[in-house]
Chains A and B, each alone.
Chain A
């Protein structure tokens, strides 16, 4: 499987994603520049974290209009696999591929800590990957949290079971 890691000006976790694919799961990976107009026949796209376009205007608002995003939207709408991490996830929200928007944390503080998350709505309750320290594969997943805008606001009228609710 070939992964494409999209690099925006301001992406800063692009090499992490690239190295994780290459060395941890041992698949092929290549970088795709935001001005490219071809996805180079990648099977899965990763929009990495960081601060694309300096988070100007709104997080992801400018990146969403990059040349490559037209192809990403087309790819996703045709059933292609797209992973958005952190800033990349916010670009997917802005592009309309995912419902909702992100707002500044209500504390106005930068949040940086580990949290346990678990899907609360039943249709998304799949076994989480086994982690050390958890006997039950349905246990919460321990993930890092690191962001200033992390307050999710859902699109009005959207059914909440169309997206996983994590707690």
Chain B
């Protein structure tokens, strides 16, 4: 494992809130049906962000990432998020 790999990082998943119409997801679902993949009830699209810190250990990474999500990465009116901190 190289030195770079040891840096602490986080993966953030952002998606539209349940109930908010996701035309991109619907279009993908229709395309899958046309390709012959049946039995799919719903496709919801989203975004992923990989954030790598400069150091191997950051103080309170959960709080920091949560703040970043609320302030910039998501719009709380339409989107929700979850994240994983990776050591």
Contact = CB atoms under 8 A, between A and B. Distances in A.
Contacts, number: 32
Contact of A101 (B23, B72, B73, B77): B77
Contact of A153 (B20, B24, B72, B73): B20
Contacts of A61: 72, 75
Contacts of A107: 23
B78 interface: yes
Interface string A100-115: 1101111110000000
A104 B72 CA distance: 19
Contacts of A14: none
A57 interface: yes
Interface in B38-58: none
A105 B26 CA distance: 13
Q: How large is the interface on A (under 10, 10 to 19, 20 to 34, 35 or more residues)?
A: 10 to 19
Contacts of A104: 23-24
A151 B79 CA distance: 14
Contacts of B23: 104-108
A103 B20 CA distance: 9
Most A-side CB within 10 Å, residue of B20, B72, B73? B72
